[in-house]
Amino acid sequence: MQNKTKVLMDESVKEPVTMTGAQALMESMVNEGVEILFGYPGGAIMPVYDSLYSYREKLNHILVRHEQGAVHAAQGYARATGRVGVSLVTSGPAATNAVTGIADAMIDSTPVVVISGQVGSALLGTDAFQETDVVGITQPVTKWNYQITRAEEIPWAISRAFYIARTGRPGPVLIDITKDAQFGLLEYKYQPMKSIRSYTPYPIIDPGQIEEAARLINLSKKPLALIGQGVVIAGAEKELTGFLEKTGIPAAMTLLGLSALPSDHRLNVGGLGMHGNYGPNIKTNDADLIIGIGMRFDDRITADTKRYATNAKIIHMDIDPAEINKIIHADAPVLGDVKESLPMLTEKVSINNHDEWLEEFNACYRVEYERLIERELYPEKPDLTMAEVVRRVSMAYGDDAIMVTDVGQHQMVAWRYFKFRQSRSVITSGGLGTMGFGLPAAIGAKLGRPDRPVVLFVGDGGFQMTIQELGTIYQSKVPVKIVLLNNNFLGMVRQWQELFFDHRYASTELINPDFQTISKGYFIPSVKVTERDKLDDAVRQMVDEEGPFLLEVVVEKEGNVFPMVPAGASVADIILE
């Protein structure tokens, strides 16, 4: 029988070509500039994987070991590159396994397109084998989702999916494709999406808002800028630097915004929030003006909102109107892409310096260094601290690696002691706090940026949640460096139990496996460090290794992360020890 389908591999062909829905999906990926897919095959997505076989030279498929890992890897890729990450999963349990990654991408504004297979359209709603209503399940945690039941819908839906995922405030999109739509024929012609009625990803900036913000800045004596991931997403790092250097305003960083400004910039006064630096927290209530730039005033930043920035006017610069006045009332909202609004604001503000105000932050840092940082980096006790490990690894890479973390104590320590020279160097789960995020995200980051070293910091708890992705590292030869900070505890939960639950360590101590044996089983070189005098040589060995490497460091068993703003307290109530 003559084959009625044809794979469109010649990009110069402009006329419609007959092909299957599965082939149309692959061709649409190529047209969107996709180079890497993270996925796991199964029955309901099998036609797509069959078509993918013919696209091996154009689309590099990374076979993960779990669907959650597929989405986290796509997130890591997206965050490291600024491009849309793509995942392929089948129906039923595969689609539900992907939900955690989708939810994580939603709250952290990560552009991801997840393609899920679905049972045939005739079986929808019959509780067929491996049928789940993934569109209904993911509606609250996607920027847009859609179910395709006809092959003809695929080019339109995919172009729309990528446009929505990457524009405005980015986010995840899920496209669910029934199996018969994958087999069905269509006349394929691709048209990239350029606009959607009723969807305005880039609000028109109101000059009046710029004028009012500039007026407040020019009147301010103690302004403080809060820098979020929105600056990184917009690619507005140079615009931010220009604004800060003209005004002389000190800048504090959120967890996801951390690398938007180099760590050693004179106006960078450190991290914000529950485990942020001492100065940015206590000085929040001394400031007379707070300028939130591409951040959302998350509860980990504000603590008790009734006692937050009590003496300050608020300027809030954000692309998402839903964030304005959601948590903190803005006296001067500036709605728009900060890539555009920051230069407009910089043009209107006066040249200034706030050196005396900046010195107050520097004085706070000296207090924090003497009371906390020095003993964390240069401890007199025999047990290794997470801080000294993180700092030595950062220095070994010239403070210029991409830092990926899992979630927990190690995440906060890495945030505090890893340093940065360039943007898109921090990849971590912020809003959702997903344990298990780190390992697959590091894989995606390294595949997206093979030109940069990628270092993962992970705890023994989070590591075991997605430890199977070591198989992906081995099979795909991904040279990720893994620093496992092992304290045999679910450390962050244990810290709260110590401080607020009278040392009742309920179900937080871990009896761990031999991680060195596991690493050997995946053919990944590794070394375990238990003594301080062995640390530098082990770090050097990791840096020198061309391929993947696991550095396991046994750290103090009951170490705590300070500073800390207790739950329900004011940011001014931050404790140093």
- Rounded CA-CA distance 230/260 in Å is 9
- Give the model's pLDDT for residue 11: 44
Question: Which token pair is 54?
Answer: 């013919």
Distance of CA 298 to the CA centre of its chain: 15
Dihedral (C-alpha) 244, 247, 249, 251: value to the nearest 10 degrees?
-10
Residue 15 annotated in active site: no
Written as one string, the DSSP assignment of 498-540 is HHHSTT--TT-B-----HHHHHHHTT--EEEE-SGGGHHHHHH
User: How confident is the model at residue 324, as a pLDDT?
Assistant: 97
CA distance 388 to 391: 5
* Residues 534-541, mean pLDDT to the nearest whole number: 98
- CA distances 338 to 111, 157, 244, 502, Å, are 18, 29, 13, 46
Cβ-in-10-Å burial (0-12, 13-18, 19+) of 516 comes to: middle
Residues contacting 565, CB < 8 A, separation 6+: 273, 274, 275, 281, 303, 571, 573, 574, 575
Question: Which residues on neighbouring strands pair with residue 457, listed in sequence order?
Answer: 405, 483
Question: Beta-carbon neighbour count of residue 180 at 10 Å?
Answer: 18
Q: Quick one: pLDDT band at residue 461, thresholds 50, 70, 90?
A: very high
Share of the chain above pLDDT 70, in %: 98
Tokens representing 546 are 């061309």
What does the block give as tokens for 476?
């795909």
Number of separate helices (H) and strands (E) present in the chain: 24, 20
Active site residue 237: no
For every residue of 31-70, DSSP letters joined together read: HTT--EEEE---GGGHHHHHHHGGGTTT-EEEE-SSHHHH
Q: Which residues contact 211 (CB under 8 A, 6 or more apart)?
A: 348
pLDDT of 25 reads 98
pLDDT at site 117: 98
> How many residues comprise the chain?
577
The catalytically annotated residue of 6, 129, 211, 221 is: 129
Could you check whether 2-188 and 382-554 share the same CATH topology? yes
For the cut 60, the answer to whether the pLDDT of residue 353 exceeds it is yes
The pLDDT mean for the chain works out to 95
Q: Is 50 exceeded by the pLDDT of residue 17? A: yes
pLDDT of residue 323: 97
Question: Which distant-in-sequence residues (6+ apart) come within 8 Å of 519 by Cβ?
Answer: 470, 525, 526, 550
Distances (CA, A) of 336 to 106, 215, 216, 318, 415: 19, 18, 18, 6, 28
What's the CA angle centered on 410, arms 378 and 360, to 5 degrees?
60
544 SS3 class:
helix
Tens digits of residue pLDDT in 293-345:
999 999 999 999 999 999 999 999 999 999 999 999 999 999 999 999 999 99
Catalytic site residue 546? no
Q: Burial of 573 by CB count in 10 Å (0-12 exposed, 13-18 middle, 19+ buried)?
A: middle
Given a cut of 90, is residue 390 above it in pLDDT?
Answer: yes
- pLDDT given for residue 16 in this prediction: 85
Mean pLDDT for 65-76 is 98
The tens digit of pLDDT for each residue in 462-518 reads 999 999 999 999 999 999 999 999 999 999 999 999 999 999 999 999 999 999 999
pLDDT in tens, 414-442: 999 999 999 999 999 999 999 999 999 99
Strand partners, 489: 509
d(CA 87, CA 68): 10
| Stretch 554-560: mean pLDDT | 94
pLDDT exceeds cutoff 50 at 402:
yes
Given the residues 58, 130, 222, 534, select the one marked as catalytic.
130
What is the rounded distance in angstroms from the CA atom of residue 133 to the CA atom of residue 207?
A: 45
Per-domain boundaries in the chain: 2-188, 207-360, 382-554
Question: From the candidates 26, 118, 147, 179, which is the catalytic residue?
Answer: 179
Q: How far is it, in rounded angstroms, from Cα 59 to Cα 524?
A: 26
Contact 5, 183 (CB under 8 A): no
CB 91 within 8 A of CB 43: yes
Tokens of 280: 């940015």
- Reported as a single tens digit per residue, the pLDDT across 95-115 is 999 999 999 999 999 999 999
- CATH (residue range 2-188): 3.40.50.970
Give 568's pLDDT tier (boundaries 50, 70, 90): confident
Catalytic residue among 32, 67, 237, 469: 67
| Per-residue pLDDT at 197 exceeds 90 | yes
Supply the pLDDT for residue 577. Answer: 86
Q: What percent of the chain has pLDDT over 90?
A: 96
Catalytic hit among 344, 492, 542, 564: 492
**In CATH, what class is 382-554?**
alpha beta
Q: How far apart are CA 466 and CA 130, in angstroms?
A: 23
Overall fold of domain 207-360:
Rossmann fold (3.40.50)
Cα distance between residue 544 and residue 453, in whole Å: 11
CA distance linking residue 117 with residue 125, whole number of Å: 15
The distance of Cα 572 from the centroid of its chain, to the nearest Å, equals 28
Band of the pLDDT at 14, cuts 50, 70, 90?
Answer: low
- Name residues whose C-beta falls within 8 Å of residue 456's C-beta, 6 or more positions apart in sequence: 404, 405, 406, 438, 439, 441, 442, 480, 481, 482, 483
For 458, counting Cβ atoms within 10 Å of its Cβ (0-12 exposed, 13-18 middle, 19+ buried), the class is buried
Q: What is the reported pLDDT for 564?
A: 93
User: Does the annotation mark 388 as catalytic?
Assistant: no
Average pLDDT over residues 398-407: 98
Structure tokens at 42: 């199964």
Residue-wise pLDDT for 268-282, tens only, equals 999 998 999 999 999
Are residues 162 and 114 in contact, defined by beta-carbon separation less than 8 angstroms?
Answer: no
Residues in CB range of 197: below 8 A, 6 or more apart = none
Which SS3 state, helix, strand or coil, does residue 194 take? coil
Burial degree of 43 (CB within 10 A; 0-12, 13-18, 19+)? middle
Contact, 76 vs 440, CB < 8 A?
yes
Q: Which among 379, 564, 406, 369 is positioned nearest to 482, based on CA atoms?
A: 406
- ∠ at Cα 156 (152, 157), nearest 5°? 100
Active site residue 409: no
Please report the pLDDT score of residue 12 as a whole number.
43
Q: 177 with 154: CB under 8 angstroms? A: yes
